[in-house]
Chain A
Amino acid sequence: LAKTTQPISMDSYEGQEVNITCSHNNIATNDYITWYQQFPSQGPRFIIQGYKTKVTNEVASLFIPADRKSSTLSLPRVSLSDTAVYYCLVGEGNDYKLSFGAGTTVTVRA
């Protein structure tokens, strides 16, 4: 499993864009990059997944440079309800054992 490193916490204000960068220097060829969100006492929720370049969905964008050694989750115009822990996971194509790191606690203030 590729080891990931992400900031422990980030603070933001409503309406701002939040960018969380995850480092995964030993990412393998078959690895995908996936981000999850977790609210207190709830199960993690899938946000976005990508392999290379840029992926965008209705809630976030994921930027992956050509070397794939890092990735950045971008949350546009956050609201108070986006306060949560965000996890970056990197996993091989046929490896079911996806474990979560410490994650980044994002706190959005009014």
Chain B
Amino acid sequence: EPEVTQTPSHQVTQMGQEVILRCVPISNHLYFYWYRQILGQKVEFLVSFYNNEISEKSEIFDDQFSVERPDGSNFTLKIRSTKLEDSAMYFCASSTRALTGELFFGEGSRLTVL
């Protein structure tokens, strides 16, 4: 069964460092998303991406964050200068259709900022 894959599974970084989280969406999907979940809290929408541009972003997705689809398979989330509060599980998701909400999530990348 096709799946969304994410790397790394866990990354530890120092505050102020840049972090890039990588995702390989399902190959025929056209819509890509990043969510985050701080430990014990709800899953929060960060950004959606379609046709090589951001479709929607939340208030969380400030100038420290950026997304990119550098080639035909990868979808990345960059945090330019990490803060302690960026520590969370980051989930990538993809979907085929814009009309419905069927999202396929990866297993997540746990980011720990020290």
Q: A43-B105, A45-B105, A49-B102 are in contact. Are A99 and B33 (CB under 8 A)?
A: no
Given the known interface contacts A44-B105, A46-B103, the answer about A99 and B45 at a Cβ–Cβ threshold of 8 Å is: yes
Q: A97 to B42, Cβ gap below 8 A?
A: no
Cβ-defined contact, A100 with B43, below 8 A:
yes
Q: Are A98 and B45 in contact (CB under 8 A)?
A: yes
Please indicate which of the listed interface residues A45, A98, A100, A101 has the most CB atoms of chain B within 10 Å of its own CB. A98
With both beta carbons as reference points, the residue of chain B lying nearest to A30 in the complex is identified as B99
Inter-subunit contact A49/B103 (CB<8 Å): no
Q: How far is the CA of A96 from the CA of B99 in the complex (A)?
A: 9
Q: Is A94 an interface residue (CB 8 A)?
A: yes
Whole-angstrom distance between the Cβ of A98 and the nearest chain B Cβ = 5
Complex CA distance for A34 and B45, rounded to whole angstroms: 16
Task: Collect the chain A residues with CB atoms within 8 Å of residue B108's CB.
Answer: 41-43
Using CB atoms, name the residue of chain B closest to A46: B102
Q: A34's contact among B31, B48, B91, B102, by CB below 8 Å, is which?
A: B102
Size of A's binding interface in residues, CB under 8 A: 25
Segment with Cβ contacts to A, from B14-22, B50-58, B70-78: B50-58
A 8-51 binary contact with B (CB < 8 Å = 1; else 0): 00000000000000000000000010101010011111100100
Q: Which residues of B contact A (CB under 8 A)?
A: 4, 31, 33, 35, 42-45, 48, 50, 55-56, 58, 89, 91, 93, 98-108, 110
Q: Which 5 pairs, one residue from A and one from B, show the smallest C-beta to C-beta distance?
A: A43-B105, A96-B48, A100-B43, A34-B101, A99-B45
Could you give 25 example pairs across A and B, Cβ below 8 Å? A32-B100, A32-B101, A34-B102, A41-B108, A41-B110, A42-B107, A42-B108, A43-B91, A43-B107, A44-B43, A44-B105, A45-B105, A46-B102, A49-B100, A89-B101, A93-B99, A94-B98, A95-B56, A96-B33, A96-B48, A96-B50, A99-B44, A100-B35, A100-B45, A103-B42
